[in-house]
Amino acid sequence: MDLRRLLAVVFGVLLTSVLAACGGGGGGGQGGPGGGPVRVVATYSILGDLVENVGGENVELTTLVGPNGDAHTFEPAPSDNARLSEAGVVFENGLGFETWLDDLYGSSGSEAERVVVTENVETLPVAEEEHGDEHAEEEAGHEEEGGHAGEEEEHGEYDPHVWHDPANAVVMVQEIRDALAEADPENAEAYERNAEEYVSELEDLDAEAREQVDTVPEDNRTLFTSHDTFGYFAERYGFEVDTALASVSTETGDPSAGETAELVEEIEASGVPAIFAENVSDPGVMEGIASEAGVELAPALYTDALGEPGSEGATYIRMVRYNVSTMSEALQ
Domain 38-124+158-198 has CATH 3.20.20.140: no
> What pLDDT was estimated at residue 128?
63
pLDDT above 90 (res 274): yes
In the chain, pLDDT over 70 holds for what percent of residues? 79
CATH T-level topology, domain 214-331:
Rossmann fold (3.40.50)
> What pLDDT was estimated at residue 227?
79
| Phi, psi of 273, rounded to the nearest 5 degrees | -85, -10
- Tell me the helices (H) and strands (E) count for the chain, helix number first: 12, 8
Residues 6+ positions from 293 with CB-CB distance below 8 Å: 263, 264, 267, 268, 275
List where CATH 3.40.50.1980 sits in the chain.
38-124+158-198, 214-331
- Name the residue with higher pLDDT: 245 or 289: 289
Write out pLDDT tens, residues 170-207: 999 999 999 999 999 999 999 999 999 999 999 999 99
pLDDT above 60 (res 28): no
pLDDT above 80 (res 249): no
Write out pLDDT tens, residues 69-104: 999 899 999 999 999 999 999 999 999 999 999 999
Give DSSP secondary structure letters for 204-257: HHHHHHHHHHTTS-GGG-EEEBSS---HHHHHHHT-EEEGGGGGGSTTS-PPPH
Give DSSP secondary structure letters for 108-163: HT--PEEEETTTTS---BPPPPTT-HHHHHHHHHHHHHTSSHHHHHHHHHB---GG
